[in-house]
Amino acid sequence: MEYEKVWNKYSQAELKKLEKINAEYMDFLSNGKTERECVDEIVNMAEADGYVELEKLIADGKKLKTGDKVYSVWMNKSVVLFRIGKKPFSEGINILGAHIDSPRMDVKSNPLYEKDDFALLDTHYYGGIKKYQYTALPLAIHGVVVKTDGTTVEVNVGEDPDDPVFFVSDLLIHLAQDQMEKKASKVVEGEDLDVIVGNKPVNFGADVRKGTAKSDEEKSKKDPVKAAILKILKDQYDFEEKDFYSAELEVVPAGRAREAGFDRSMILSYGQDDRVCAYTSLRAMLDLPVCDRTVCTILVDKEEIGSVGATGMRSRFFENAVAEVMNLCGQYGSELDLKRALSRSCMLSSDVSAGVDPNYESVFEKKNAAFLGGGIVFNKFTGARGKSGSNDANAEYIAALRNVFEKEKISYQFAELGKVDAGGGGTIAYILALYGMNVIDSGVAVLNMHSPWEATSKADVYEAYKGYIAFCKGMDL
């Protein structure tokens, strides 16, 4: 079966809306390069649309009714939104779920050191990356430093045109004979992903801080470039070296999302896995009318490292939020009510899929592959080898989804993540499936997945947005 290229079906009015959605999406990508920044963007958009914080409603003793909008943030890294529907929770809810973390480098707890007259930050890479792709690339540092008095210092350096940027050095080709013989996984080792942040020694003259202890002065003489960086951190951000212990600093590619191609048909940006599905899910949620079923969008952290921890999908915060919302609706009598609601729910695990790459066709089986410009992608299963670790969606559920999408004229395609035994991957789908609900992976095809700069089709972004709206309104098993 061949898929129609979706660009051919749009009217001028639709093309105008497509460009508007994508322009807003590029702003979201550029402003939300960490989970915390994404949550800030999401909350701002939700509150502007009339969403109210769940915890405030609970504290005020308020009740919820059909049409109400509510959200809950967990540890500033995950967020869940609800739009209360006409039907009771006992008939199930419709759920969109995506993740807002992306592969990157995290600054270690004791990171700053000096070597060969350079100041460097030691890092530990997060998620699956090709480590060599992060060398010789302009980098930015985003995150927070929390001091012992509770003060939070926000850090965002490398994005403004006037900001400095940072980089991981690479070996010049003239001296790289031995390096070029190594396997790609060994060309750059994880412990070599140290970010160069300075080269200028501290001034021991009049600019030295008054009252500097003699021991500190001796340390400065031993590591003068490190001392200079510490002085900058103190003067500009008011934190000390020991405050790195309670910091969350992420090193990401510097620069805004950009249109790609002479025809401007694509978007090139860091973090599109999975913020392309997070944004389109959120945008669909905000643009929904009151639906028959309650609609929920959950945007979570830690998917790239197994959905672990208090802010990952394996945490109970989603389940707890559903229980609290049901209680405010007067529909929570016991845990059995919650279990029934979740088991009768339907979900799109909104995550990206691998798009066919014209430069690397050999890893794809094209009859069962996703193409950029082919519409939203359904992955009946993910996993690896013999479907290991996957959620495998039921045929009845897929048929119902096809019916909904075809009624709304949403372009879709079905795909697997490359050839059998070529590799594999996973999403949060299997975690929600533990509740017994119907779940399938559904998202946008991406080129360069997990690289510093990923590519998507504007048409697929738009089809995903429309598809998520169609699902929320029309799915009712």
Secondary structure (3-state) at 146 = strand
Q: CA–CA separation, 238 vs 278, rounded Å?
A: 34
Written as tens digits, the pLDDT of the chain (477 aa) is 666 789 999 999 999 999 999 999 999 999 999 999 999 999 999 999 999 999 999 999 999 999 999 999 999 999 999 999 999 999 999 999 999 999 999 999 999 999 999 999 999 999 999 999 999 999 999 999 999 999 999 999 999 999 999 999 999 999 999 999 999 999 999 999 999 999 999 875 545 555 555 556 666 678 999 999 999 999 999 999 999 999 999 999 999 999 999 999 999 999 999 999 999 999 999 999 999 999 999 999 999 999 999 999 999 999 999 999 999 999 999 999 999 999 999 999 999 999 999 999 999 999 999 999 999 999 998 877 888 888 888 999 999 999 999 999 999 999 988 888 887 778 889 999 999 999 999 999 999 999 999 999 999 999 999 999 999 999 887
Instruction: Please give the Cα distance from 400 to 404 (Å, whole number).
Output: 6
Query: What token pair was written down for 64?
Result: 């919820």
31 CB contacts (<8 Å, ≥6 apart)? 37, 41
Amino acid 422: pLDDT = 80
pLDDT for position 4: 73
Give the span between the Cα atoms of 173 and 175, in whole angstroms: 5
Three-state helix/strand/coil letters over 218-284: HHHHHCHHHHHHHHHHHHHHCCCHHHHHHEEEEEEECCCCEEECCCCCEEEECCHHHHHHHHHHHHH
Rounded Cα gap, residues 135 and 173, in angstroms:
13
Nearest to 323 by CA among 299, 306, 310, 340: 340
**Residue 282, CA atoms < 13 Å, CB-side half-sphere:** 32
Domains and CATH numbers, the chain: 6-102+270-474 (3.40.630.10), 104-253 (2.30.250.10)
How many CB atoms lie under 10 A from the CB of residue 150? 6
Q: Dihedral sign for Cα 217, 219, 221, 223, please.
A: negative
Q: How many helices (H) and strands (E) does the chain have?
A: 12, 22
Residue 42 backbone phi and psi in degrees, to 5: -65, -45
Closest CA relative to residue 259, chosen from 18, 9, 11? 18
Distance, CA of 23 to CA of 80 (rounded, Å)? 24
Find the helix packing angle between 224-237 and 214-222, rounded to 10°. Answer: 120
Determine the length of the chain. Answer: 477
Place of tokens 């070597």: 115
Residue 217: the pLDDT is 61
Assigned token pair, 413 = 């395609």
User: Using an 8 Å Cβ cutoff, are 187 and 179 in contact?
Assistant: yes
Model confidence pLDDT, tens digit, residues 440-451:
999 999 999 999
pLDDT digits 0-9 by tens, 312-340: 999 999 999 999 999 999 999 999 999 99
Vertex 179, ends 174 and 185: CA angle to 5°? 140
**412 three-state secondary structure:** strand
Q: Is the peptide bond before 274 cis (omega within 30 degrees of 0)?
A: yes
Residue with tokens 């599109």: 272
pLDDT of residue 108: 98
